Every structure is written in C-alpha cells, then in structure tokens.
C-alpha cells in the first residue's frame, strides 16, 4: 500500500494564540484543535487566568473540536495531522489535504466581546462528504471550585423547550445519548460551562471521565464529563459558549441561557436579589460589605413580619402556665377517651379569650422563609463571590472560612437568638435540645461559604436586636401563674369549654 503524501499541511507543530477582552485561546495545528481556553477575568489558585480546557488527560482523551468518524484510521488522521494554519485578528483557519483524498477544513472565530467562539468544519473523502461528530474532551478545567465540598461536580446539561435537564454521572451511565432539538447542550460545573448554543437538531453523547490524584496525594479523583455532538447538518457554523455562569454574560447570548444557573426553587427571587447585590457592590466595592448591607435592608423590609411573629410568640409564652394547668387536669385520660376532647375545647377557648393563635407566630416566619432560601441560594451559587475577598483572613467569599471564625460566630449568635426567643410550650428537654442545636450546626457551617455565613451572622444579630426592641415596645411579660385564688377561678371550666371570666362576659 503506497504511503499517503500530504498535499496541504505544515511540517512542524505550532500554536496559534488569540487574545480578546475576556479570553486567551490557544489552538494547535496538530488536528486543528483547541489546546487552551483561559479566562482573563477569573483566576486559579496561583492567580493565573483560569484554564477551562482539561489538560491532564490530553494523552488519552481528545482535545476540544476533535473529530470522530466511522473509520478509526480516518479519525486518527483527522486529529493527528499537521494542518496548514492561517490567522487573521480573532480568527484562525486550518486545512489539511492528502493524496488519499482526505480533505478537512476547520474555521474558528473567537468573539472579541463575549466568551463564545464560532466553529465551522467540513471533511470529505474522495469528494464524498464525511459526517464527523465534534468531540469536546473531559471538562471542565476549573479544579479549584470543584475542590469545595459544596461544589457541583461537572455534569451534562441541556435545554429543550425551555426545560433544563441536568445529568450526573449516574444518569449518564444509564442513558448516555440524547437526541433532540436543543436550545443549548454541553457540560457545566458549579461556576462554569461549555455548551453548543442553538445547535438545532443534534445527537449528543455524554461520557464520565476521571482525573486520578497525584502520586502520594490523599485527594480524591476529579470527576469530569465529556460530550460529543453530532449536528443534523454538518458543515454549518456552530457557536460554543465557554465561560462563567454569570447572569449578564449568559443573558447577552440568549434570554433563556441564564436558566443554566441553578438558583433552585426560588430563582424568581434570586435574580432581583442578585441585581441588588451587584448594585450595592458598585458603591461599596466589596462583596462582603455588599452582603452585609443587603442583609440589613432585607431584614428592615421584613421587620413588620418578624415583629408580629415575636409578639405572637410572646403572647403564647404568657399563657403557657394556664395551658399546662389545663393539660395536667386531663393528663390521666387516654388519648382515645372522649373526655379528652374537652381539653381541646378549653384550650381553644383560652386562645380566643386571650386573642392568641397557635399558628400566628409561625406564619410570619414562613412568609419570610422564601426570601431567606433565595438569598442563601444566591450566596452559594453566584459566581460574583468566587475569589471575592472580604476583610482580614477571608480572601474568597465562595470558600469556607479557613480559620473557622465565622462558623463559631454564627453558632454563638444562633445560641444568643435561641436564648432570647420566648419559650412557647416546650418542655425542659426540648429547650435544652434547641440550645444545643446551634452548637451542632457549627460543624455544618465549617464547609459553608463565607459569604453565606456573613448573611447568616448579620441576620441573627439583627433578629436579636429586633427581639429586644419588640420586648421594650410591648413591655414585660404578663404571665398568669395558676395557684393563687384569682388564677384558679379563671381556670375553672364551665359549659361549652369557656373559662369562668369568659362565661360571665357572655
């Protein structure tokens, strides 16, 4: 078999570097592949531009924009040949032709203002078009963010009809291939993603990959995810986004693209909170202080609801001696005894007489819960906090406190808040458990991002201050203690479960 001669190629390997406002991209003429994609706006642990192309597995796994066809020999030549390269500004074109009739052209254009690049490629054998699949090797290269305990590991992601599907390695093992009319499809991790944008009808195959730890290291292996896309119309231009899961950056590509950020159930609240946080940051210039200011503002807005909750709990605490007296009189009855119903009637009569609702202390808190969960989701997901310093030892608000000072402060403030909260019917054992729980939570807070702990701590201090203000406004507790004659008379029950005083009023 005669040797295959190259007709259009280059004799040696060389790299082609393209730098834009946000990206430094490096292509190699061997295979016409993307060798490096560094983000100038984000840094790794060494304060260098962050690399999103995984290079640790380059020897055994394909680099981005490798091609795969049915014939393995042709695949190897497409990806291993030295292409002739020509560069102009933010574009580069690769071409290869040999005497066996193989002809391949790859064209890349890096957008100067965004994190996208456009790819167009054609391949043919003896003038017969090939149908190559485009391979993006294991991703993503953001090692530092993936090392955090709370971080989302790389997984598959795609959008069809506005619905987002996220695929963990376990799901890919069950079903690796998907074919649909995709709005976007690719791989993402906690903060970054690579995806084909509006590829149309296509078939995508995901494949888990793993980077073993360094020799002698106790670190776990890095879990990655590779994907291969087969467009229904090969040769047409495809746009790939390779960058941060930043709301504005994604929105500039497509109005539905920001849904790739997993803000959870309360995303409708997260977006205005994120806008507010960035607006405050524009004035204070520090995301730690911006979190503090926004936390104070949120609690100020929620002040009426929290005030109502504290007042309701206070009223419930005031009548607890009378509630316990009622419960003690019926304590010897079985739960199935019909006479036990009289206890509930007397309890409800007491609540009506004192203008207290058992749920009135919980409902205001439940109304504030979506805001709390939305802000917490924001602080553990927003890329704005990645690498953002606060003060002193806190150099990255997206990472846990390295000296555990913030978890301890949050735990102590939680104990303080619990101690200030009026007891509403809890027995001594329950009260002890409620005091111990914040101490236990300290160990949970150890792996929580510092930015979220600032929010939690400031919120706790605010609520303690609000409780003191509310107690000052409504005066000291008016607890009625059964045992004296007046109290005993009030606890005697007459017909229809009314208290004596209530019966007289009626």
pLDDT, tens digit (0-9, with 9 covering 90-100), for 78-127 = 999 999 999 999 999 999 999 999 999 999 999 999 999 999 999 999 98
pLDDT for 491 beyond 70: no
pLDDT for 220 beyond 90: no
Report the pLDDT value the prediction gives residue 275, as an integer from 0 to 100. Answer: 94
Report the pLDDT value the prediction gives residue 488, as an integer from 0 to 100. Answer: 45
Report the pLDDT value the prediction gives residue 490, as an integer from 0 to 100. Answer: 46
- Omega within 30 of 0 (cis) for the link into 140: yes
pLDDT, tens digit (0-9, with 9 covering 90-100), for 33-80 = 999 999 999 998 888 999 999 888 777 789 999 999 999 999 999 999
pLDDT for 501 beyond 50: no
**Residue with tokens 């066996």, as numbered in its chain:** 100
Q: Are the C-beta atoms of residues 52 and 136 closer than 8 Å to each other? A: no
Whole-angstrom Cα Rg for the chain: 32
| CA–CA distances in Å: residue 324 to residues 130, 337, 402, 432, 495 | 83, 19, 47, 19, 20
- pLDDT band, very low/low/confident/very high, at 28 (cuts 50, 70, 90): very high
- The CA distance from 481 to 488, in Å, is 9
pLDDT, average across residues 218-234: 86
Average model confidence (pLDDT) for the chain? Answer: 84
Report the pLDDT value the prediction gives residue 506, as an integer from 0 to 100. Answer: 42
| CA–CA distances in Å: residue 441 to residues 58, 148, 399, 411, 447 | 43, 19, 18, 7, 11
What are the chain's domains?
6-262 (2.70.98.90), 271-319+356-474 (no CATH)
Report the pLDDT value the prediction gives residue 251, as an integer from 0 to 100. Answer: 92
**Residue with tokens 């376990």, as numbered in its chain:** 170
- pLDDT band, very low/low/confident/very high, at 15 (cuts 50, 70, 90): very high
Assign 3-state DSSP to the chain and report helix, strand, coil percentages, each to 5. 40, 25, 35
Residue 319 DSSP class: T
Residue 140 DSSP class: -
| CA–CA distances in Å: residue 304 to residues 124, 273, 473 | 71, 20, 13
Q: Whose CA is closest to 312, among 372, 347, 364, 352? A: 364
Residue 165 DSSP SS3: strand
Lowest mean pLDDT among 152-166, 441-455, 487-501: 487-501
- The CA distance from 497 to 123, in Å, is 88
* Helix 405-420 × helix 428-445 angle, to 10°: 160
Q: Whose CA is closest to 91, among 125, 62, 120, 131? A: 120
Report the pLDDT value the prediction gives residue 426, as an integer from 0 to 100. Answer: 52
pLDDT for 169 beyond 70: yes
pLDDT, tens digit (0-9, with 9 covering 90-100), for 410-443 = 888 888 877 776 555 555 565 566 667 777 778 8
pLDDT, tens digit (0-9, with 9 covering 90-100), for 330-367 = 777 777 777 777 887 887 887 777 777 666 556 656 66
Please give the structure tokens belonging to residue 475: 């005066």
| CA–CA distances in Å: residue 114 to residues 122, 223, 243, 250 | 25, 28, 9, 9
What sections of 82-180 are H helices per DSSP? 143-146, 169-174
pLDDT for 493 beyond 80: no
- The CA distance from 294 to 275, in Å, is 11
Report the pLDDT value the prediction gives residue 296, as an integer from 0 to 100. Answer: 93
Instruction: Work out the percent of the chain whose per-residue pLDDT is above 90.
Output: 47
Region of 387 (left: φ > 0; alpha: ψ -120 to 50; beta: rest) is: left
pLDDT for 196 beyond 60: yes
Residue 312, φ and ψ in degrees, nearest 5: -65, -45
Q: How many CB atoms lie within 10 A of CB 88?
A: 8
Q: Are the C-beta atoms of residues 18 and 110 closer than 8 Å to each other? A: yes
pLDDT for 142 beyond 70: yes
- The CA distance from 253 to 132, in Å, is 26
Report the pLDDT value the prediction gives residue 458, as an integer from 0 to 100. Answer: 93
């Amino acid at each position: 078999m005669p040797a295959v001669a190259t007709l259009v190629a280059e004799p040696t390997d060389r790299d082609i570097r393209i730098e834009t406002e946000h990206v430094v991209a490096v292509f190699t003429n061997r295979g016409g592949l993307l060798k490096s994609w560094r983000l100038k706006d984000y840094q790794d642990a060494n304060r260098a531009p962050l690399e999103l192309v995984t290079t640790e597995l380059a020897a055994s796994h394909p680099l981005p924009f490798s091609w795969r066809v049915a014939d393995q020999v042709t695949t190897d030549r497409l990806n291993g040949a030295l292409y002739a390269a020509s560069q102009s500004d933010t574009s580069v074109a690769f071409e290869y032709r040999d005497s066996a009739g193989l002809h391949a052209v790859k064209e890349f254009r890096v957008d100067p203002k965004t994190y996208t690049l456009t790819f167009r490629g054609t391949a043919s054998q003896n003038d017969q078009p090939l149908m190559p699949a485009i391979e993006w090797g294991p991703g993503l290269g953001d090692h530092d963010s993936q090392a955090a305990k709370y971080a989302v590991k790389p997984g598959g992601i795609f959008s069809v009809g506005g619905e987002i599907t996220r695929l963990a390695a376990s799901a890919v093992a069950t079903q690796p291939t998907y074919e649909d009319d995709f709005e976007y499809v690719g791989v993402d991790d906690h903060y970054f993603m690579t995806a084909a944008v509006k590829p149309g009808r296509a078939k995508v195959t995901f494949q888990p990959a793993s980077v073993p730890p360094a020799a002698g290291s106790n670190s776990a292996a890095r879990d990655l995810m590779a994907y291969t896309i087969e467009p229904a119309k090969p040769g047409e231009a495809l746009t790939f986004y390779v960058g941060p899961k930043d709301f504005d950056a994604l929105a500039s590509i497509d109005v539905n693209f920001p849904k790739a950020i997993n803000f959870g159930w309360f995303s409708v609240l997260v977006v205005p909170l994120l806008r507010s946080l960035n607006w405050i940051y524009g004035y204070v210039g520090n995301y730690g202080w911006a979190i503090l200011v926004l936390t104070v503002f949120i609690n100020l807005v929620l002040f009426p609801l929290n005030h109502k909750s504290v007042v309701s709990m206070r009223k419930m605490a005031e009548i607890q001696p009378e509630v316990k007296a009622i419960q003690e009189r019926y304590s010897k009855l079985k739960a199935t005894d019909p006479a036990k119903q009289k206890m509930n009637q007397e309890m409800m009569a007491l609540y009506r007489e004192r203008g207290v609702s058992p749920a009135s202390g919980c409902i205001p808190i439940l109304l504030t819960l979506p805001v709390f969960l939305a802000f917490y989701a924001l602080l553990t997901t927003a890329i704005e906090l990645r690498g953002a310093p606060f003060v002193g030892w806190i150099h990255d608000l997206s990472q846990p406190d390295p000296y555990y000072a913030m978890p301890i402060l949050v735990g102590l403030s939680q104990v303080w808040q619990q101690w200030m909260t009026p007891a509403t019917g809890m027995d001594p054992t329950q009260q002890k458990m409620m005091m111990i729980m914040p101490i236990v939570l300290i160990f949970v807070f150890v792996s929580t991002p510092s930015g979220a702990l600032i929010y939690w701590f400031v919120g706790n201090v605010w609520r303690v201050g609000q409780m003191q203000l509310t107690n000052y406004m409504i005066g000291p507790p008016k607890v009625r203690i059964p045992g004296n004659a007046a109290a005993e008379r009030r606890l005697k029950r007459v017909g229809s479960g009314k208290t004596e005083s209530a019966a007289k009023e009626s």
